[in-house]
Amino acid sequence: MPDEPLHDPKFSLPDSLIGRVVITNLDRMYNWGRKNSVWPMMFGLACCAIEMICTQASRFDLSRFGMEIMRPSPRQSDLLIIAGTVTKKMTPTIVRLYDQMTEPKYVIAMGACASGGGPFREGYNVVPGVDRFLPVDVYIPGCPPTPEALLHGLIELQKVIDGQSLRTAPWYRKGDREIQIPALWSDLVETPPAPQRSEGPKA
Ligand code: SF4
């Protein structure tokens, strides 16, 4: 389904209808709307956040992807870009912000620090990868990733969204998907295993 034209219904049409009638299905229409209106949260942690800010500015311009401006509140956002080093002390706050975001919601780990701890991986205060406590949809390598790399990651996220189906997406099912806020101790964080996405290609 990703990268396929929206109007291709995947079955043959009578000649009299070709070019006159557009047929698609609900999943593709729904995903087309969602993938072109992702609202990222205005939230950065360290040097990678500067690249994220550049990506939003005029030279690169996220508006071309329907992402317009970054939202200052988790309740108006459906994309959390973890841009920077994640310290253990920050994890309860990050999980709380994620829980407050509206569903369907997505997470991008931007850069080496967010993806695996980066150059500070062995640090006593650094989380070696945000996927220890959040379900990550797209990982972007680099230290820092360039704005072009973030744009590529966002395009990959659009493919993930395009691969989802209303029939199987967890967002419209019953059940509590809130992530438990990690418990902070003197020098460590106790985290439950992060839930995994149940569908759509991983990028
Ligand atoms: S990946 Fe590199 S640029 Fe990004 S937050 Fe870590 S140290 Fe800074």
Count of alpha carbons within 13 Å of 188, Cβ hemisphere only? 2
Residue 74, domain extent: 39-153
169 within a domain of the structure (yes/no): no
3-state SS of the chain: helix, strand, coil percent to 5?
A: 35, 10, 55
State pLDDT tens for residues 81-131: 999 999 988 998 999 999 999 899 999 999 999 999 999 998 888 999 999
pTM above 0.75, yes or no: yes
pLDDT digits (tens, 9 = 90+) for 138-194: 999 999 999 999 999 999 999 999 999 988 888 878 877 888 887 776 555 555 556
Residues contacting ligand 1 via CB (< 6 Å): 46-48, 84-85, 111-113, 118-119, 143-144
Whether 87 is covered by a domain: the verdict is yes
SS3 track for 149-183: HHHHHHHHHHHHHHCCCCCCCHHHCCCCCCCCCCE
Phi, psi of 74 (to 5 degrees): -65, -25
Nearest ligand 1 atom, CA 111:
1
CATH number of domain containing 89: 3.40.50.12280
Domain contains 44: yes
Question: Is residue 64 situated within a structural domain?
Answer: yes
Domain membership flag for residue 165: no
Residue 3 lies in a domain: no
* Mean predicted confidence (pLDDT) in 18-42: 87
Q: Tell me, in angstroms, the distance from the centre of ligand 1 to residue 92's CA.
A: 21
Q: Count up the domains in the chain and report the number.
A: 1
